[in-house]
């Protein structure tokens, strides 16, 4: 066990944890933020996506001990910048979610995409979002919402 400081949504959390624990479980089970979801646990579905210093990462594949206190983690609960609000409004406008399970990961990836590429082409969106799986098949609505948010 080790004491680790995590900066999540601009709040510092000091936790006692096995440094090998995936960040996903530290976020959900120790810090108690349940918006980040477990899907495959193998880096294949994107349900667990959060941002680390603005980059989309798979929290199920990131050992909590690999993160420093200076790095900023953002989860869906903390997605409240102007861009993130625009994206969430576009999600509502296009009624994107069906079951909703994958959507926090989808939104965290979409946000990271628009931060790095504010005017993505259709293929940019398809390529960037291809690691986020939606079992309900909401892909066309996700793409439309990203295009609306990028306007
Ligand atoms: Fe992390 Fe599927 S749960 S990618």
Q: Per residue in 42-66, pLDDT tens?
A: 999 999 999 999 999 999 999 999 9
Residue 138 confidence (pLDDT): 97
Number of domains in the chain: 2
Which of 78, 96, 125 represents a domain boundary (last residue)?
Answer: 78
Check whether residue 18 and residue 48 sit in a common domain: yes
Check whether residue 119 and residue 144 sit in a common domain: yes
Which atom of ligand 1 is the closest one to the Cα of 40? 2
Q: Is 19 in the pocket of ligand 1 (CB under 6 A)?
A: no
Q: Among 68, 50, 58, which residue's Cα sits nearest to residue 6?
A: 68
ipTM: 0.97
Report the residue among 28, 42, 102 best suited for mutation to probe ligand 1: largest number of ligand atoms under 8 A from its CB.
42
Tokens for 100? 């909703």
Query: What's the gap in Å between 106 CA and the centre of ligand 1?
Result: 12
Q: Is 58 in the pocket of ligand 1 (CB under 6 A)?
A: yes
């Amino acid at each position: 066990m080790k004491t680790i400081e995590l900066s999540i949504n601009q709040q510092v959390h000091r936790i006692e944890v096995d440094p090998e624990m995936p960040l996903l479980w530290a976020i959900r089970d120790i810090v108690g933020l349940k918006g980040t979801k477990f899907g495959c646990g193998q880096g294949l579905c994107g349900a667990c996506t959060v941002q680390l210093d603005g980059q989309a990462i798979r929290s199920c594949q990131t050992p909590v001990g690999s993160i420093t206190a200076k790095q900023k983690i953002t989860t869906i609960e903390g997605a409240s910048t102007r861009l993130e609000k625009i994206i969430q409004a576009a999600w509502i406008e296009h009624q994107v979610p069906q079951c909703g399970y994958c959507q926090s990961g989808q939104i965290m990836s979409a946000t990271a995409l628009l931060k790095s590429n504010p005017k993505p082409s259709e293929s940019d969106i398809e390529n960037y979002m291809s690691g986020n799986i939606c079992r309900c098949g909401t892909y066309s609505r996700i793409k439309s919402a990203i295009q609306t948010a990028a306007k």
